[in-house]
Amino acid sequence: MAASLALITFGISGCSSDEAPEVEQPAPVDISALDIGSYATAPRTIGKQNIDRARLTEGQRLGNYLPTPFEVDSRFKYQSGMDSNSVYGFIERIYTVGDTFAEDAPGFVGGFYSWAQSHDDILIAETLSNAAMIFDSEASASAAADALARSQRAKKEGRVAVQIPGFADEHAFWQPDRQELFTFKAYKQLVVYTTIKDYAKIEVGTTDLGAMTSMATKNWSTIQPRVDKFDPTAVGKLTDVELDHDQLLGHSLARQGEESQKNPPGIYNQQGALHITTTPESDRKLFETAGVEWLGINATELYQTKDEKGAELLSDEHSALNKKLRSAGSPKGLPAAQCNELKVKDSLTMRFHCTVAYGRYVIEARSNQLIDAQQRISAQYAMLAAKAK
């Protein structure tokens, strides 16, 4: 890419002599001097989707309507975020649904998976997960709920059917020895598969079916009004649905190698982005205040906000240090980028994280290697500079 200059301006300019002194502007960023490693920085045009990509897009679009577990119950404030291998949009069977999914669910289009826990230590936490699946008709959804429930009940010994108001017979079952409750709910063209598990009660050997069934009812009562606003795309028109918005995904840094198998690249609105953050409690208000419009997921997380002020706020909040983080070096030639490092090794969390604002955009890059996180954020910055031309 030809050498270019990009300038980010902050603060106040053009002050008269009787006003406060002019804020010193940061030096322009020399894009040609950035270390981008082997990442490609040329923007891409996102064309017409093939049917599998279109099905995945439909599943990701559903995530823009679903409540997060935190919105179901404020105890569920610990999410896995981008660091986990959790799947969000999906078109193949998701591991929690079972090996016979293809046979049990003809007419399946795509789905979205969300998960959270009530404590940062899984051994004493309660967990809530929802796998919401779209089908080509209401009849297909109803039949799939029946078949999936039968298969899941037969999966392990000790699972017993339980009665929950609003759920059909055999669509809710409990495994007392593992303190797990499973439900399938068919609704219009959707099937929502919910798993509730209480690890603390497993440890102490107690049971509380009433609390779990109450949570299942609360979960569905929160989901239903949200998905009522979701209008499934007719199967024959799936490939006509636009994948990109404002060229955001086309200007997102592409992944390399096996990384593409993780949370699939895609684009989410403000609500969908809340499923992917690790801090839904604080980000719910932050995203609203910052005016988050879209989040593009690829080799980086690329937020588009309403304006530069919103981007600066989001970047500052997401780069703030805490007791688990320490500062790491900024990328070569990009001193505005803030990088941090986990103080304690965590196999489920990337060690390094870098953040920077560019105009109305915020870039976040993660990696277990500092140089890779720095190269990712630098390459994404260079790509946005190309977009700004």
Residue 131, pLDDT score = 95
With a pLDDT cut of 90, the percent of the chain lying above it is 73
- pLDDT band per the 50, 70, 90 thresholds, residue 263: confident
Residue 166, pLDDT score = 85
In the chain, where the domains are located: 5-47+243-388, 51-227
Residue 85, pLDDT score = 53
What's the average model confidence in pLDDT over 119-141? Answer: 95
* Cα angle 164-141-85, degrees, rounded to a multiple of 5: 85
- pLDDT band per the 50, 70, 90 thresholds, residue 27: low
With a pLDDT cut of 70, the percent of the chain lying above it is 89
Q: Could you read off the pLDDT of 326-379 as tens digits, one per residue?
A: 999 999 999 999 999 999 877 678 899 999 999 999 999 999 999 999 999 999
The third-level CATH classification (topology) of the domain covering 51-227 is Protein Transport Mog1p; Chain A (3.40.1000)
pTM, two decimals, is: 0.89
